Amino acid sequence: MDNSQSAEKTAGIILIGNEILSGKVRDYNSSYLASELWSLGVSLMRISVIPDDPGIIGKEAVFFSKTYDYVFTSGGVGPTHDDVTMEGIAEGFGVKLMRHPELAERFCRRFGDSANDAVMKMAFIPEGAEIMDVGDKVFPLVIFKNIFIFPGIPEYLKNKFTAVKERFRSASFSLKKLFLTVDEPEIALALNKVVAGNPDVAIGSYPVLGNQEYKVMVTVESKLENAMNKAVEELINRMPAGKLLRIE
């Protein structure tokens, strides 16, 4: 179980690629971004995995852009036929896909006589987008409105996100973990009562199988440290005697 809380900033992640949906490629980017955003105090609200379809990409990008403060896309920015993220975003927002002169010059300089149509495809971005040279210099970070368009290769994404992540920092979350030697059904009612009385706190309960030390980990988090401490104290008082192993 998990209850949510309002936060200063929210985010959504859109993973783009048939290879992820078919299981050919394992997704690492959403896990990385989720962890990083939490540490920055940003509430990740949704992760969407969609195919290499410009129409679907456009609709999802528009919805996410209107719904969340920050949107992070991953994948579909290369030279091949299935790299259609830029096209999809442009289509969704009703803007032109324009050839960025600086990108075109860069690719001509980098690839020389090999700068064919496939290579130069990467110089086209949605009209109104900006580029930032961060991290590796193979391809810049493209930003359109509140959408940050990252490559799908995990090393490239991590490299670029690390370079810009401080711009997203918000008030940090405080977190406590309670480890219990009891099955989840035995504490469910107590958890529900604490959840109901603490709207500014997010409480999660996670059963653990095959662990000889504890059976359930309960997490308590909030941007308000006093609210978190109050909820933790209430949980401690409601837990079965002798079943709370430790608090971290």
Mean pLDDT of the chain: 94
User: Which has the closest alpha carbon to 74: 63, 92, 60?
Assistant: 60
Count Cβ atoms below 10 Å from residue 215 Cβ, excluding itself: 19
CA–CA dist 154, 138 (Å, integer): 14
pLDDT (0 to 100) of residue 136: 64
- 3-state secondary structure (DSSP) of residue 44: strand
For residues 86 and 16, is the Cβ–Cβ distance under 8 A? no
Straight-line distance from the first to the last Cα atom of the chain, in angstroms, rounded to the nearest whole number? 20
pLDDT (0 to 100) of residue 1: 41
Question: 80-131 pLDDT, tens per residue?
Answer: 999 999 999 999 999 999 999 999 998 898 888 888 998 899 999 999 999 9
Residue 53 amino acid letter: D
CA–CA dist 143, 72 (Å, integer): 10
Q: Which domains does the chain have, with CATH numbers?
A: 10-168 (3.40.980.10), 175-247 (3.30.70.260)
pLDDT (0 to 100) of residue 162: 95
pLDDT (0 to 100) of residue 8: 79
For residues 152 and 17, is the Cβ–Cβ distance under 8 A? yes
Query: CB within 8 A of 224, min separation 6: which ones?
Result: 174, 200, 201
